[in-house]
């Protein structure tokens, strides 16, 4: 119960991908010494308020954390270990882009304490990589996976599917080509058009069309079928792993355990002086930096969550997982209102759990909306 997960957001990328709405920025240069100091200051601030905890997982996400100097990662990890202390089986993941993941750098990340790599491959097809605005080739991505497999015991990579023009046969072929490169975990995302991205404008201007909901559902089903057959079942909508190899940070996040979010735009759910708070940092790297220098933290929002808020969030997060949420963690009036979803074959209620059916997972946003209304 005294476990804490830590998320560290690194908000810089070499270039901005046209589909991406993560808090990522392109700058001519970044003074990484100043940023390192600010991360340490913010960690220290929260250490004063969280009390004694053991760190069960750390996740460097972005942006492109593989652009961080390896010494920066080492310094941050040393500071976390010195303050709270690492659990014996701590998992420390870093998101890596093939364009900043040379073999020497990956080894140095391992020496710095990283023990799991998550690689942004996105596609193994040249035309799709180009469409997605990626600056690496498929060969480069495969090389990064192969190097990662030599350096790290645990690694994963991301692919994006249901692209315009892509056929299900093409996707099946690509996924089958990718599977021999998988160790124990893979993330497979359907392309989504996020507001304010370049794709959003191009899509609205009619420059490309997206697969219909029915076609997208077929893509999803083909994905599940192939992964199930290869012993990589989904443990969440977009995440597949062999049993026991689920990403610890993901499990903490969806299982509604406490996580501290550090760095520009990071979100957290963390006990502050004994009450669970929803925290959110300033998004702009420069504004965050400025505020950390003055206030010792970059908080934009810091809201104490009521018991009702927590129940609802637990439901929203938990229902994205295949195992769903424990009935014991839901309120009684919620349970009395499940008949509609049950009748529609969207949810399943076992003796212990409320979980989405396969059909329900496809429509998870509507399912959650309905659950929250009741
Ligand atoms: C923060 S990014 C990853 C790491 C690294 N910056 C990279 O691009 O290699 C996390 C992942 O989210 C996925 N992603 C981002 N935007 C998406 C979108 N609009 N639709 C589907 N997947 C998306 C990509 O697969 C990406 O690798
Ligand atoms: S997908 Fe990765 S590299 Fe591309 S802009 Fe987003 S965070 Fe940066």
Q: How far, in Å, from the CA of 14 to the mean position of ligand 2?
A: 8
The protein residue whose alpha carbon is closest to atom 13 in ligand 1 is 189
The protein residue whose alpha carbon is closest to atom 6 in ligand 2 is 20
Integer-rounded Cα Rg, in Å, for the chain is 21
Residue 308: per-residue pLDDT: 84
Query: Which residues have a Cβ under 8 Å from the Cβ of 31 and sit 6 or more positions away?
Result: none
Choose which residue among 20, 132, 195, 223 to substitute to test ligand 1 binding: the one with the highest number of ligand atoms within 8 A of its C-beta. Answer: 20
Is the confidence at residue 209, as pLDDT, over 90?
Answer: yes
Is the confidence at residue 374, as pLDDT, over 70?
Answer: no
Number of other residues whose CB lies within 10 A of the CB of residue 104: 10
Q: How far, in Å, from the CA of 85 to the mean position of ligand 2?
A: 31
Confidence of residue 101 (pLDDT cuts 50, 70, 90): confident
Q: How far apart are CA 125 and CA 138, in angstroms?
A: 6
First to last CA, the chain: 30
Query: Which residues have a Cβ under 8 Å from the Cβ of 62 and sit 6 or more positions away?
Result: 9, 10, 11, 12, 13, 22, 24, 95
Q: Is the CB of 20 under 6 A from ligand 2?
A: yes
Mean pLDDT of the 274-288 span: 96
Query: Which residues have a Cβ under 8 Å from the Cβ of 373 and sit 6 or more positions away?
Result: none
Among the bound ligands, the one closest to the CA of 119:
1
Among the bound ligands, the one closest to the CA of 97:
1
Is the confidence at residue 332, as pLDDT, over 70?
Answer: no
Q: Is the CB of 56 under 6 A from ligand 1?
A: no
Residue 349: per-residue pLDDT: 85
Length reported for the chain: 374
Q: How far, in Å, from the CA of 308 to the mean position of ligand 1?
A: 32
Residue whose C-alpha is closest to residue 190's, from 8, 372, 9, 364: 364
Pairing of strands 275-281, 267-272: antiparallel
Q: How far apart are CA 6 and CA 24, in angstroms?
A: 19
Is the confidence at residue 333, as pLDDT, over 80?
Answer: no
Among the bound ligands, the one closest to the CA of 195:
1
Q: Is the CB of 160 under 6 A from ligand 1?
A: yes
Q: How far, in Å, from the CA of 154 to the mean position of ligand 1?
A: 19
Pairing of strands 185-190, 234-236: unpaired
Mean pLDDT of the 268-295 span: 96
Q: Is the CB of 60 under 6 A from ligand 1?
A: no
Among the bound ligands, the one closest to the CA of 101:
1
Residue whose C-alpha is closest to residue 41's, from 363, 352, 288: 288
Is the confidence at residue 197, as pLDDT, over 70?
Answer: yes
CB 159 within 8 A of CB 121: yes
Residue whose C-alpha is closest to residue 102's, from 117, 91, 122: 117
Choose which residue among 174, 189, 210 to substitute to test ligand 1 binding: the one with the highest number of ligand atoms within 8 A of its C-beta. Answer: 189
Q: Is the CB of 65 under 6 A from ligand 2?
A: no
Q: Per-residue pLDDT tens for 301-316?
A: 999 999 888 988 988 8
Mean pLDDT of the 163-189 span: 97
Place of tokens 């209620």: 349
Q: How far apart are CA 202 and CA 199, in angstroms?
A: 5
The protein residue whose alpha carbon is closest to atom 17 in ligand 1 is 20
Q: How far, in Å, from the CA of 63 to the mean position of ligand 1?
A: 9
Q: How far, in Å, from the CA of 269 to the mean position of ligand 2?
A: 24
Q: Is the CB of 265 under 6 A from ligand 2?
A: no
Residue 336: per-residue pLDDT: 62
Is the confidence at residue 1, as pLDDT, over 80?
Answer: no
């Amino acid at each position: 119960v005294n476990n804490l997960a830590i998320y560290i957001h690194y908000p810089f990328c070499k270039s901005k991908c046209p589909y991406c709405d993560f808090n990522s920025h392109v700058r001519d240069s970044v003074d990484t010494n100043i940023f390192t100091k600010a991360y340490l200051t913010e960690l220290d601030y929260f250490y004063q308020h969280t009390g004694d905890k053991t760190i069960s997982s750390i996740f460097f996400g972005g942006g492109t954390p593989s652009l961080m100097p390896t010494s920066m990662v080492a310094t941050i990890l040393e500071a976390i270990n010195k303050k709270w202390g690492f659990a014996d089986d701590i998992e420390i993941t870093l998101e890596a882009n093939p364009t900043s993941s040379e073999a020497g750098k990956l080894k140095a990340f391992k020496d710095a304490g990283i023990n799991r790599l998550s690689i942004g491959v996105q596609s193994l097809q040249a035309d799709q990589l180009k469409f997605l605005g990626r600056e690496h080739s498929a060969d480069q991505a495969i090389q990064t996976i192969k190097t990662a497999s030599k350096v790290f015991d645990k690694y994963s990579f991301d692919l994006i599917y249901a692209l315009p023009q892509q056929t299900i046969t093409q996707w099946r072929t690509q996924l089958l080509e990718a599977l021999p490169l998988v160790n124990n975990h893979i993330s497979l995302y359907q392309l989504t058009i996020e507001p304010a991205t370049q794709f959003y404008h191009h899509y609205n201007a009619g420059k490309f069309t997206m697969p219909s909901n029915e076609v997208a559902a077929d893509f999803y089903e083909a994905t599940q079928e192939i992964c199930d057959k290869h012993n990589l079942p989904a443990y969440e909508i977009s995440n597949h792993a062999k049993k026991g190899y689920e990403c610890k940070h993901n499990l903490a996040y969806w299982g509604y355990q406490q996580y501290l979010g550090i760095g520009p735009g990071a979100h957290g759910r963390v006990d502050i002086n004994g009450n669970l708070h929803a925290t959110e940092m300033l998004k702009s790297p420069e504004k965050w930096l400025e505020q950390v220098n003055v206030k010792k933290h970059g908080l934009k929002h810091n809201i104490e969550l009521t018991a009702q808020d927590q129940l609802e969030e637990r439901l929203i997060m938990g229902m994205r997982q295949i195992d769903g949420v424990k009935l014991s963690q839901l309120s009684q009036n919620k349970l009395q209102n499940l008949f509609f979803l049950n009748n529609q074959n969207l949810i399943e209620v076992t003796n212990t759990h409320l979980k989405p059916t396969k059909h329900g997972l496809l429509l998870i946003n509507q399912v959650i909306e309905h659950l929250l209304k009741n």
